[in-house]
Structure formats: structure tokens, C-alpha cells
């Protein structure tokens, strides 16, 4: 969020190293915090009336049955998603469903090199002081793609280390035998080489979507890439790291999270190559968790018409990429403005989101209602489920949020496929055993 400094974010999310809390915790939490969690509101509203969701649930059920298929879920937001705590817990649940559910790790970004907080479940490192980060949510202006953030390198040389597995909770390690490096392919200032010279079979440059794809001799879980300036007399070199993709041919569920601290619809709209790169994936389910930053302002300054227009334009962009995509609109959590007053703009957003969902036959997950509505973030803060800003969540708060979304998703899935909800949820509750 633009209202919290990056150092505070790093501290807030550092506790994600706690592995034991990755397990299903909602049942044990309800006796303690049930008064602030409104379970009766925890549902994917309109999902069963949506042809897009019914189609998605059939394919998800097919994977649950052990049949091989590929489903791609995208989840976009601001700092809640950049931290990749509750989104990673959902990723882990779904990819650990059975032996055919774990697809590739997919798209990731080097947040550490961009000098902001990196998710704990993978690691990309280099000489950090040689890099500069540029977010779409601030006034900088560089080329942005799917990630909405870029890391720029302008020095003579550096080595980038990429580890697919860091502090993740998957039953099996992520491995990849293909690798996409997204960067400013319109410039050729740097030589890109792999430290393991025997690894690469071939490489293909895609100048239209700005990546180079490498094929490997075998599956690996980590790589090291050297960047070397070709011409030391070049006074204005630049390597713009826009993301990476860790690929294999595994069927299953791929879960891509895209988050930038402080991001809003207006800021993601600045990412000129977002739609072009999204076309590579054609998502089957797109979860939109943008909105808190759009409304982080006094009530008199919030432009509801502009918010609605941005939201609809974003949905239309997704539908251009995949007309059959199921889109889940999530209502932002209740929050405080500048730690002083509960933000009234969220209630306005809630109304708009319901209108848009019904117009496009999509579903809504109303976390605003689940929390308790206007002013409820203070109650969550008093129970240490949110930090003092009453915008973000504590680690346990994000764990609760993940389990709630899992419950809502499984409830809708069970109704759409005539499965026993308790048995289906029991499977995911015990998936780490």
C-alpha cells in the first residue's frame, strides 16, 4: 500500500517463515475470534448462476478426480498480494490436491532486486545495491509488463540466482526445464549467460512480448545467470528485468499472483504491456483484489464513477484475453484512513462491485461483510489480526483470510458438482498430513 513504508512492510511480512501456521487453522481460530468473523457471509455470491464459474468448477472437479488438465488462476492486487501470504496458501491447497494437481510454478518477479519485500516461497538474489526498482504505483516511468514493477540494472556485471523453492509448503519441490526471462528485448546491452554452460539446449527470443525462452537438458530447481555489459564505453546501458517464468509440462493448477505495493486500477493501467503478456496465459479464473488504494482518500475525493469505469475496463481486458474466463471480484477489507478514521469509501466500492458482477455474470467474495463491515477493522486490530494501520493483516490474519476463501471456493465447487461439502473440505483441511 502507498500508505505504508517498505521497511514496515518487510517487518510485517517477515514472520511468513513460520511453516507450522501454513496448515488449516480456521476451526481452531473460530472459538477465539469467531465474534469478528461472519461465516454466514463467506460465500462466492452469484457463482452458481455464472456460466463461467460452472465451467471452471467442472474442470476443477475433473482434476480433483485425478484427470489430467491444466487450469491457470491469476490473482492480482496491491501489497496484500505482493506479500503472497494468503494467495500462496491458496496455491498450496490447490496444487497439493492430488498427484496431478501440481502444475509449474510459473511467473515470478525479483522484488528483492527491486528493493521491496519479496514473497518468502521463492528467492531471486543478486547484488542488490546495483539494482533499482520501479513500481507502477509511484511516479517513476519505465516499461512495465504483467508484474507492474520492473528492476533496472545499469552496472557492468552481476549474477542473478533464482531458486524455485525457498520456504514453500508444496509436497513436491517445484522444478522446471524451460525458463522465460522477461526484459527489455529492444535493447541488447548485456550478454546473458548461464553459469552452468551445459544446461541450455536452445533459446528463442520473442521481441513481441519481450522475453527470451531457454530450454534445458533436464529439470532443475535453481539456476544462476550472469549479466555482462557488452560494450564498456556504453554510457547509458540498461537491463530491465520485468519477470521470470519457471516452466514445465506438468498438468494441474497453476496459480499466478501479481501484486505491487500501493497499486490501484489507475496504476496497473500504466503497465503498457500488461494485456500483451497476459495473452500468453489466457487465465481460467481471475481473482481481482484491487481496490483498497483506489479508495484510500477522504470521502470527498473518491470518484466512484472513475472507479467503476476502471473496474469494467479491467474486466473487459480479461475477457479479450479469454472470453470464457471466470472472474472473482473481491470486495476490499474494511480499513482506516491514516490510522484515524474508518474509510467510508469501501461501502461505495462494495455496491459498485455487486453491480459489475451481476452485469458480467461473475462472482463476488465480500470480505468487507465477512469482517463485519464499516469500522470492523478496529475489532480485528484489537485481536491482533491486523497491525496498527488497520489496512493490512497480521500473519495469522492472512492465514484466516486464506482459509475463508478456501471454504467459500469449496462450498461453491461442491454445490456446482453435487459433491459432499464436508467431505471435500475435509480433504483440504488434512492435505498436509
Q: DSSP secondary structure string, 37-79? A: --GGG-SEETGGG-HHHHHHHHHHHHHHTT---EEEEEEEESH
- What does pTM read for this prediction? 0.94
Residues 6 or more apart in contact with residue 310 via CB below 8 angstroms: 264, 265, 266, 269, 294
CB atoms within 10 A of CB 413: 22
Task: With a cut of 70, say whether residue 50 has pLDDT above it.
Answer: yes
CA distance 318 to 321: 5
Residue 292: closest CA among 74, 90, 137: 137
Question: What pLDDT, on a 0 to 100 scale, did the predictor assign at position 21?
Answer: 46
Residue 192: closest CA among 162, 236, 233: 162
CA distance 9 to 215: 36
pLDDT band at 267 (very low <50, low <70, confident <90, very high): confident
- Strand duo 285-289 + 326-331: pairing: parallel
Question: What pLDDT, on a 0 to 100 scale, did the predictor assign at position 17?
Answer: 38
- Tell me the pLDDT of the chain averaged across its residues: 93
pLDDT band at 141 (very low <50, low <70, confident <90, very high): confident
Question: What pLDDT, on a 0 to 100 scale, did the predictor assign at position 170?
Answer: 87
CA distance 372 to 34: 11
Per the CB < 8 A criterion, the answer to whether 36 and 380 are in contact is yes
Question: What pLDDT, on a 0 to 100 scale, did the predictor assign at position 433?
Answer: 61
Task: With a cut of 60, say whether residue 109 has pLDDT above it.
Answer: yes
Q: Which residues sit opposite 139 in a β-bridge?
A: none
- In this predicted model, what pLDDT tens digit does every residue of 369-406 receive, in sequence order? 999 999 999 999 999 999 999 999 999 999 999 999 99
Per the CB < 8 A criterion, the answer to whether 164 and 122 are in contact is yes
Residue 343: closest CA among 381, 380, 390: 390
Amino acid at each position: 500500500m502507498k500508505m505504508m513504508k517498505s521497511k514496515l512492510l518487510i517487518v510485517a511480512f517477515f514472520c511468513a517463515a513460520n511453516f507450522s501456521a501454513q496448515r488449516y487453522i480456521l476451526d481452531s481460530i473460530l472459538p477465539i475470534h469467531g465474534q469478528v468473523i461472519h461465516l454466514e457471509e463467506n460465500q462466492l455470491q452469484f457463482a452458481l448462476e455464472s456460466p463461467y464459474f460452472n465451467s471452471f468448477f467442472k474442470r476443477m472437479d475433473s482434476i480433483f478426480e485425478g484427470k489430467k488438465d491444466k487450469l491457470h488462476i491469476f490473482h492480482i492486487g496491491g501489497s496484500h498480494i505482493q506479500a503472497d501470504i494468503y494467495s500462496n496458501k491458496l496455491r498450496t491447497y490447490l496444487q497439493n490436491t492430488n498427484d496431478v494437481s501440481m502444475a509449474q510454478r510459473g511467473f515470478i518477479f525479483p522484488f528483492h532486486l527491486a528493493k521491496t519485500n519479496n514473497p518468502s516461497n521463492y528467492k531471486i538474489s543478486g547484488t542488490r545495491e546495483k539494482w533499482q526498482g520501479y513500481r507502477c504505483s509511484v511516479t517513476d516511468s519505465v516499461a512495465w509488463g504483467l508484474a507492474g514493477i520492473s528492476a533496472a540494472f545499469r552496472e557492468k556485471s552481476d549474477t542473478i540466482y533464482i531458486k524455485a523453492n525457498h520456504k514453500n509448503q508444496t509436497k513436491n519441490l517445484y522444478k522446471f526445464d524451460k525458463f522465460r526471462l522477461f526484459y527489455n528485448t529492444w535493447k541488447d546491452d548485456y550478454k546473458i549467460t548461464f553459469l552452468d554452460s551445459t544446461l541450455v539446449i536452445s533459446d528463442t527470443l520473442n521481441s513481441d512480448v519481450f522475453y527470451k525462452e531457454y530450454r534445458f537438458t533436464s529439470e532443475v530447481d535453481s539456476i544462476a545467470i550472469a549479466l555482462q555489459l557488452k560494450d564498456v564505453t556504453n554510457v547509458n546501458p540498461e537491463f530491465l528485468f520485468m519477470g521470470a517464468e519457471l516452466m514445465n509440462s506438468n498438468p494441474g493448477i497453476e496459480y499466478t499472483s501479481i501484486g505491487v505495493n500501493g497499486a490501484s486500477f489507475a496504476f496497473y493501467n500504466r503497465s503498457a504491456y500488461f494485456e500483451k503478456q497476459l495473452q500468453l496465459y489466457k487465465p481460467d479464473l481471475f481473482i481481482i483484489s484491487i481496490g483498497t488504494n483506489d479508495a484510500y482518500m477522504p470521502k470527498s475525493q473518491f470518484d466512484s464513477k472513475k472507479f467503476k469505469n476502471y473496474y469494467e475496463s479491467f474486466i473487459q481486458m480479461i475477457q479479450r484475453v479469454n472470453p470464457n474466463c471466470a472472474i472473482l471480484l473481491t470486495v476490499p477489507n474494511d480499513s482506516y484512513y491514516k490510522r484515524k478514521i474508518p474509510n467510508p469509501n469501501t461501502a461505495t466500492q462494495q455496491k459498485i462491485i455487486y453491480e459489475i458482477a451481476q452485469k458480467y455474470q461473475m462472482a463476488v467474495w465480500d470480505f468487507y461483510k465477512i469482517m463485519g463491515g464499516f469500522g470492523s477493522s478496529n475489532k480485528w486490530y484489537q485481536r491482533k489480526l491486523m497491525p496498527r494501520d488497520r489496512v493490512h493483516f497480521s500473519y495469522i490474519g492472512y492465514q484466516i483470510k486464506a482459509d475463508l476463501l478456501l471454504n467459500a471456493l469449496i462450498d461453491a465447487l461442491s454445490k456446482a458438482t453435487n459433491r459432499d461439502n464436508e467431505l471435500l473440505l475435509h480433504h483440504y483441511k488434512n492435505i498436509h498430513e
